[in-house]
Amino acid sequence: MDNPTGPSTPTMLARGMRRRCPMCGAGNLFTRWFRICEHCPRCGMRFEREEGTFVGGMFINIALTEIALALFIVVGFALTLPDPPVGPMVVGAVFISILVP
């Protein structure tokens, strides 16, 4: 007998981590590495709820990254004045930009 509420949360998370449909478990959901299909080819589940759904999350992601970068630069320059090491600071800023979001 089918579950009317769908799969459990752990099942959906496990399927998502394997790049599969959270509802039916079908594969081949991505046209490229970072581009997902609009619908599941097997069950037809729509993956993006509506246009602009992720704008708030992207804004928070960008804001937190900029705050982390600003703190890194201010603290880094404050601790190393009068001769701050610009090269290592740039490398550190690049790593923060990659790791924070």
- Residues 18-67 pLDDT 10s: 989 999 999 888 888 878 888 898 998 888 777 777 788 889 999 999 99
Number of H helices, E strands in the chain: 3, 2
Per-residue pLDDT tens digits for 3-21:
667 899 999 999 988 989 9
Q: Is the peptide bond before 82 cis (omega within 30 degrees of 0)?
A: yes
Mean pLDDT for the chain overall: 88
pLDDT confidence bin for 1, thresholds 50/70/90: very low
pLDDT, average across residues 72-90: 93
CA separation for the pair 94, 65 (Å, rounded)? 11
40-46 long-range Cβ contacts below 8 angstroms, 24+ apart: 45/21
User: Token pair for residue 62?
Assistant: 């960008």
